[in-house]
Amino acid sequence: MAISEIPLILVPCFSGAPWDTDAFPAWKDRTMITGQLPDAGSMDNYVDLVLSWTRGLDEYIMVGDSFGAGVSLAFAERQPRGLRALVMSGGFAKADVSLITRFRVIAGKILGQAGYPISVYFHVQSLGSKFDPSGTQEELRQLFLQHSDAKTFIHRGEMILAADLRPDLGKVQVPTLILTPEDDRLIGPRSARELVDGIPGAEERVLPHTGHLLRFTNEPEYAAAVNDFLAQRPG
């Protein structure tokens, strides 16, 4: 199968909301597979869930954003049959987040479901960038409120803070693209460097004038970077 025909498995971000495939017309001729991320309880369970999306596929390309990048990395470290390439945006092997972000997870646990809208508001604010168009954060806030809840929010937050995928980075044996925003205020630059240094042959591309929400704010540039990366690896 030509690289341009291989299906894309699109793994959602922390909100758990499926990717909006209509926002990526550059991929309209590809099969795109995505879905809702429930509260799976552990990283291994999330990997098992995403693995079920690949059932019946001989080949596929994994594309994960933010939390989904972490799930995609854990997936690739298993060296599953059929995986041909890996793309991660706003990703990490070990979350390099501030004490304030850690406090938000604790505060969310205290506030519970009744205070979930407050937890989401402050979390979404931490994802913002000077490059984001007006209204971006409100759109993401609505995704959280529609597709997640306080329990899932806390479980995923604790999972991110505890996860350390660095020891097995060398097991990723497929072409890998790290898409890094110019202005990521949530995930520090060290996270991208650890991925590039730890994954054999990994390539990093910094998308200018983007923040952590680049999948929502710069869809054409995002898709173009992925297409260019894959076109250089026709085999």
Do residue 148 and residue 119 come from a single domain?
A: yes
Do residue 192 and residue 112 come from a single domain?
A: no
Q: Which of 11, 17, 46 is nearest to 32 (CA)?
A: 11
Do residue 185 and residue 74 come from a single domain?
A: yes
**What is 15-49 written as a DSSP string?**
T-PPP-GGG-GGGTTS-EE-------SSHHHHHHH
Do residue 13 and residue 90 come from a single domain?
A: yes
Do residue 141 and residue 221 come from a single domain?
A: no
pLDDT tens digit sequence for 113-124: 778 888 888 888
Do residue 127 and residue 197 come from a single domain?
A: no
pTM score: 0.93
User: Which tops the pLDDT comparison, 58 or 112?
Assistant: 58
3-state secondary structure of 203: strand
Structure tokens at 49: 């869930």
Q: Which domain holds residue 210?
A: 3-95+165-231
**Angle, helix 150-162 to helix 67-77, in steps of 10 degrees:** 50
Q: Which helix (H) or strand (E) holds 65?
A: strand 60-65
Do residue 65 and residue 177 come from a single domain?
A: yes
Do residue 13 and residue 89 come from a single domain?
A: yes
Do residue 86 and residue 181 come from a single domain?
A: yes
- How far is residue 138's CA from residue 55's CA, in Å, rounded to a whole number? 35
Q: List 63's β-bridge partners, or say none.
A: 10, 87
- How far is residue 43's CA from residue 218's CA, in Å, rounded to a whole number? 28
pLDDT greater than 60 at residue 103: no
- Asked if residue 15 is part of any domain, the answer here is yes
- How far is residue 40's CA from residue 99's CA, in Å, rounded to a whole number? 25
Do residue 135 and residue 203 come from a single domain?
A: no
Domain count, the chain: 2
Q: List 8's β-bridge partners, or say none.
A: 32, 61
pLDDT tens digit sequence for 146-188: 999 988 988 888 888 888 999 999 999 999 999 999 998 888 7
- Asked if residue 160 is part of any domain, the answer here is no
User: What is the structure's pLDDT at 25?
Assistant: 97
